[in-house]
Structure 1
Amino acid sequence: MLSQYLTKPTETHLKLADQCLRYLLETKNLCLVYGASKHITGLHSQPEHLGSNHEFFGASDASYGMNNDRTSSNGWVFMLFGGPVDYKASKQITVTKSSTEAELLGLSQAASELIQWERVFAEIHLQFNQRTHLYCDNTQTIRLVNQQGQKLDTKLRHVDIHHHWLRQRDQRGDIEIKYLSTNDMPADGLTKLLPPQKHKHFVKLLNMAEEGVDPRTSVPSAAASGGNGPTDA
């Protein structure tokens, strides 16, 4: 993440910044698309994970030990009515000793944000038809949270605290953590650089499309021909 090098940027960082600006220029017509729940295209290849009335969900991911100081990176995104409404990509402060520990830390942060969102929804009387799902692509992490008797083998006390906090929230019904494959994980692109084809897929998972193009069909929408197409922002 270039923001880490604002004080002492090198020539390499300046070149990467130029590359980012070129990308933004080339994708200036790329839009976030929102709509009714039946039109949600995120996780399109696994509709059983959403259900017909799942308008709001979160996804959390972590890349283990990928930074030069061997810290991990984590990211989360929350989707509402088909498009992202909140996201974060950050570098973990603590060096963890396994991918499971890294995923637990990231998942705990995402769960805290999810609870804040649910408080906002309660304030404005916005209700959903089922518990909000928080998705993760690490099966061991999910087992540690969901199953009684599962123990985390770690000497990092704060990681174990996050583990037990997540389990408590799950048992109370505040959150529901479910598995989602890496290929369908909308937070994957927040933790690492992706090759072109995977980046294109990541953009699609975020329900983004060129202006005038329906992301469900990748063809010009009714809006492009003067009709009433899906609303985008």
Structure 2
Amino acid sequence: MGSDSNRVAALVSKWALEFKVRYMGVSSFFLRIETVQLATGLLLSQQRYLKDILKRAGMVDCKPVATPVSSAKPVEGPVVPYADPTHYRSLAGALQYLTVTRPDLSYAVNRLCQHMHAPTTADWAGLKRVLRYVNGTLNLGLHISCSESLDIHAYSDSDWAGNPDDRKSTSGFAVFLGKNLKSWVCRKQQTVARSSTEAEYKGLADVSVEVTWLVSLMQEMEFPVISAPKLWCDNLGATYLCANPVFHARTKHIEIDYHFVRDKVAKNELQVHFISTKDQIADIFTKPLSSLRFNTLRHKLNVLASQPCA
């Protein structure tokens, strides 16, 4: 699909010289992803798949909630194994595929999947909350529209020592091409960070790899990147560390792999800038948020409701 029908037809003709191609009309439903035509572009929706998951869980008529993860501190209590771990794994795995079009679920699903091996009743309660949130947001999807700009900009954030069990940090990033969200990630870091600066620096290294791949892909598709991609981070220490190696004595313990981003900045292939926490879009991938904050960031990720054009 594309905004230029002539270029789309030319590309399909080239494919036909190498592969067997059959035109099946305008895409509407593929790999359980529905494309909804809007006046402002396309909406990628998995509403049918969502309803199937709710039916499997027996929660079609459950009461909706405003956020997938509660922002309140969990109540300490005895650890009780969940009676049917296979059922838990099946539903958590199904929710993973939802993050293809629902980046707002990334943090919640990441937390659920960390307990696949031995889920507890508390984990099951968390999974049911995600399903309740899903039930109230069935009409949401990822919005894609025409963009005059091909500039790449990314937001990176980390929640330092946010995991109470092993004190590892959670990183997340969102990469935009123009005004469209192209890729996003929420993951727990592999090692324990000794400071918030180190946790943020590791997160910047991860997003710089993703951005480098995207630049390479665009060049291969003959879409040259005019300006260096911009990375936005809400930690001043991490932004300074990317551009200035004066903190060498404090960073000897950081693995060499994470200094990849510093090398990119030195070559002017990336720009790292500071952004205030209130404007940090990737905040939604690293921690539980209030409903007001969550809804604001969800909208900035272009997760919108379907409103078919007349």
CA displacement at 1:4 relative to structure 2:
0.7
CA contact (8 A) 1:134 1:176 kept: yes
Aligned match for 1:60, one of 156, 162, 172: 156
Q: C-alpha distance in 2, partners of 1:85/1:163?
A: 23
Which residue identity is paired with 1:196? S
Matched with 1:167 is 262
Residue 152 to residue 162, structure 1, CA distance change in 2 (3 Å): farther
**Are positions 1:183 and 2:278 aligned together?**
yes
Q: In the alignment, is the contact (CA less than 8 A) between 2:159 and 2:199 conserved in 1?
A: yes
The CA RMSD measured in Å over matched residues stands at 1.9
Is 1:35 the equivalent of 2:139? no
How far did residue 109 of structure 1 move?
1.0
Partner of residue 216, structure 1: none
Instruction: Provide the C-alpha distance between the structure 1 equivalents of 2:129 and 2:199, rounded to a whole number of angstroms.
Output: 29
Instruction: Return the offset for 1:180.
Output: 1.6
Aligned residues of 1:72 and 1:95 also touching (Cα < 8 A): yes
Deviates more, 1:163-172 or 1:174-183: 163-172
Confirm or deny: 8 A CA contact 1:34 1:81 kept in the other structure: no
Higher Rg of the two aligned structures? 2
CA distance, structure 1, for counterparts of residue 262 and residue 253 of structure 2? 17
Structure 2 counterparts to residues 173-212 of structure 1, below 5 A: 173-212=268-307
User: What 5-or-longer segments of structure 1 have no aligned partner?
Assistant: 39-52, 213-222, 227-233
* Deviations, residues 208-230 of structure 1 (Å, cap 9, x unaligned): 22212xxxxxxxxxx55x2xxxx
Aligned twin of 2:208: 111
**TM-score normalized with structure 2 length:** 0.60
Residue 174 of structure 2 contacts residue 282 of structure 2 at CA under 8 Å; is this kept in 1? yes
Structure 2 residue 14 is the aligned partner of structure 1 residue 14: no
| 2:157/2:234 contact within 8 Å kept | yes
Structure 1 stretches (4+) deviating beyond 4 angstroms?
A: none
Q: Which runs of 5+ in 2 are unaligned?
A: 1-110
The amino acid across from 2:185 in the alignment is K
The equivalent residue for 1:23 is: 133
Distance 2:207 2:261 in 1: 10
Distance 1:157 1:146 in 2: 16
Q: Distance in 2 between matches of 1:209 and 1:163?
A: 35
Between 1 and 2, higher relative CO (CA 8 Å, sep ≥ 6) is seen in 1
SS in structure 2 at match of 1:174: coil
Question: What letter is aligned with 2:238?
Answer: T
Give 1:169 shift: 1.1
Residue number in structure 1 paired with 2:41: none
Question: How big is each residue's C-alpha offset from its partner over 1:152-172, in whole Å with a ceiling of 9 and x where there is no partner?
Answer: 6135241xx245432221111
CA distance in 2, matches of 1:129, 1:112: 19
